Structure 1
Amino acid sequence: MRIRKLRLLLEQYGDTTLRDIIVEIYRQLPRQVIEEKEFDAMLTQFVKYKDLQKEQEQPTVEQTIAQTDRFIQLAYDLQYLEPNPIVPLREQKNWYITAKRLLKHLRHYAHRKNGTQIAFEEFFFLLSSAAGEEPLFLSNDPFRLLKVSQVDFFQELVGYYKNDSHGIEWMERALYTALKVPMDVDTERSDLLLAVLAHCETAEHQEAYINCLNVHAKKLQSHVRIDADALSTYQEIRFAELHALISLRALERAETMLFTEYIPYFSHRSTPFRYYLDLLERAGLEQEHDRIERVGRKKRIHF
């Protein structure tokens, strides 16, 4: 029903009937909807609620940055996690509602070269820390609550890096972030690395991407035998590198890397070999897939 028609309809009822209608509607609403839409605040302080709604519809860029900075600082200070006089319990429980609103406003301004891109980046770091490093909110899985994956959020951030940079500086910054940021439970390190590759639209950028990854991998090689985390990161880097080589159709280089820089760093040869076959299959390279299968059989790799 349209709002205009609803208003005309409600004019037919008296105050008592309207009160009964409101109570019945409220009773039928799910608790989550009541909390997300802040219906309690609307019913108890309607004028204040309407004023706040107008203010929140689209604050200025300065207000958006200030509100985001405050939210981030309060979160790192554990004000959304522990009882305190600054953030009420109700707001602690509904932190993701505030986060959704701030994210919407940041996206409105983030295409401009201003402080909102920095605020967007800090917002991503905050959610990643809360997801993979330390609890900062009363609820887990911050990305799920905001209905955005860490990979999609990061890919959006990489786009801002790219628009605000010349040469390959954006790529180096993005790869460094992908390798250092805490991981969400639903995300693999290679997912973030491949999100950077998605922004490499030319062969030149893809080659630069491969070179950057190789530099990071070489730095880790001396640690992989004694550090399990370093080994895992190394494997993820080489996986992304293989993906890029296949995208470039540099299949000889990919095969060389597979047997010299990738497979030797797994306890079983079959696992990385299957990964590579899957990459070839997804790329539609059936003949190369069949050829590599034959190579695997000759090398007595079980897959």
Structure 2
Amino acid sequence: MLLSELKPLLKERSKDDLEKIVIALYKAMPKRLREEKQVDLLIEGAGLLPAGAKEKPNVAFADLQDQVNAFLENAYQQNYMAPNQVIHKKDRPKWRFIAAAMIKDLSAVPADSDDGRTATDLLVKLYQMLCHACHYYLFRSDDPFRSVGIVQTRFLDLIASRILLGGISPERVRLILALAVDDRHDRETVFADCMNTVLAYLKTPDSRQMAIGQGQILLAEQLKKRVYYEKHDYYNRVSRYSFEQIVKNTVTIVCTLYLLLDQVDDAVRFFKDNTTELFSKPDPVSKYRDLLGLLEKHVIRDAWLREYALAMQQGIAMIPRNEALFQHLKKYGAFPDADHPLDFNNLKSQVVYVLR
């Protein structure tokens, strides 16, 4: 029966009949459903709001929010791993079930609902915490994403879809880019996986152009932190390496966006201008290795040959694979494939030397 059919029928019933109907419906409704739909509050009058009145916050979601924040605080303080008086010893291994349940409950909150934005923010915090746990022991696990029962890229995909549900905006794009360039991955995930997960949501030229601008802003914000790493000795090599990788990942994702827009010269220029060793001597060999690898991945032959020739003119040594690839391009005019694989026969001595 439709609501339009129900309302006229209810108007014809007496007050006593309506009471009997409500009681019968209440008895037929499972307890769990009554609690979920807050039927008791509706009957008591709390669910019937006068015009212009603001709805009370969802008590259940407010409790969930407090639980997530408390869990995050205990996780970062290593209370689920180290001896402490906050989390009992027998409860510490249960962190994985707690985290999995929280992710499930938060994911069930519609992203476009009143609590959707807060739920998405909490999912982002849980994701970042698990990323942190991939580098530092927060739990007795060296693979936190797997322990929770979720693949890192799927979690990132869930968050990106929720963030962009309301439309693509500069702030939202910058947020998902920041999540993608984070270098803290589980043992089965690499940066390219996270990058591709996010780029799948940026399919139009306008969205990609917006992402380029936001990536450049993100890079500028990151480079401001370089001063702290240079001035303070307490930052160890691991922290510096992690910071340097985040910067490189940001450069790579911006260059990839340029290449997806067929702006090859802009991509090469941006790569050269922003790729540098932040805390060590410049390494032109690695720089050209990464640049040529990026151009090869996107099958841009002319730019690859041009950059290879420029590197040789500057006296920069090429890795054996790129030397073999140069010979291959001269011979076949295209990148290797199943019919014409890359041939290392003429470079065996160089390969052995590099491996040593």
Is the pair's TM-score, using the shorter chain for normalization, greater than 0.5?
Answer: yes
Change beyond 3 A, Cα 1:263–1:246:
farther
State how far apart, in whole Å, the 2-side matches of 1:268 and 1:117 are. 40
State how far apart, in whole Å, the 2-side matches of 1:167 and 1:258 are. 25
Encode CA deviations 1:210-250: one digit per residue, 9 max, x unaligned. 11222233445576587346544333321222111111110
Secondary structure in 2 matching 1:123: helix
Partner of 2:309: 294
Partner of 1:269: 284
Change beyond 3 A, Cα 1:76–1:129:
farther
Encode CA deviations 1:50-93: one digit per residue, 9 max, x unaligned. xxxx98xxx78864663464154145235433556775544422
Q: CA deviation at 1:204?
A: 1.3
Change beyond 3 A, Cα 1:212–1:116:
closer
User: Is residue 162 from structure 1 mapped to residue 175 from structure 2 by the alignment?
Assistant: no
Comparing 119-128 with 80-89, greater Cα deviation is found at: 80-89
Specify the code of the residue in structure 1 equivalent to 2:286: T
User: Is residue 128 from structure 1 mapped to residue 146 from structure 2 by the alignment?
Assistant: no
CA contact (8 A) 1:110 1:120 kept: no
Specify the code of the residue in structure 2 equivalent to 1:234: V
Specify the code of the residue in structure 2 equivalent to 1:183: R
Partner of 2:354: none
State how far apart, in whole Å, the 2-side matches of 1:220 and 1:121 are. 19
Partner of 1:81: 81
Encode CA deviations 1:16-35: one digit per residue, 9 max, x unaligned. xxxxxxxxxxxxxxxxxxxx
Change beyond 3 A, Cα 1:136–1:63:
farther
- Counting only pairs closer than 5 Å after superposition, residues 97-176 of structure 1 correspond to structure 2 as 97-113=97-113, 114=115, 115-133=118-136, 135-165=137-167, 167-176=169-178
Secondary structure in 2 matching 1:96: helix
Secondary structure in 2 matching 1:103: helix
Q: CA deviation at 1:121?
A: 2.3
Q: CA deviation at 1:252?
A: 1.2
Change beyond 3 A, Cα 1:74–1:83:
farther
Change beyond 3 A, Cα 1:70–1:169:
same
Specify the code of the residue in structure 1 equivalent to 2:166: D
Partner of 2:212: 210
State how far apart, in whole Å, the 2-side matches of 1:143 and 1:87 are. 21
CA contact (8 A) 1:99 1:146 kept: yes
Change beyond 3 A, Cα 1:166–1:223:
closer
Q: CA deviation at 1:171?
A: 1.0
CA contact (8 A) 2:251 2:275 kept: yes
Secondary structure in 2 matching 1:163: coil
Report 1 or 2 for greater relative contact order, CA contacts < 8 Å, sequence distance ≥ 6: 1
Change beyond 3 A, Cα 1:203–1:117:
same
CA contact (8 A) 2:268 2:291 kept: no
User: Is residue 245 from structure 1 mapped to residue 258 from structure 2 by the alignment?
Assistant: yes
Comparing 156-165 with 61-70, greater Cα deviation is found at: 61-70
Specify the code of the residue in structure 2 equivalent to 1:241: V
Specify the code of the residue in structure 1 equivalent to 2:312: R
Encode CA deviations 1:115-172: one digit per residue, 9 max, x unaligned. 4323322322332333335x43233321131243434422321221111355322112
State how far apart, in whole Å, the 2-side matches of 1:264 and 1:138 are. 34
Please say which structure displays the higher CA radius of gyration: 2
CA contact (8 A) 1:270 1:301 kept: yes
Aligned length: 246
TM-score of the superposition, structure 1-length normalised? 0.64
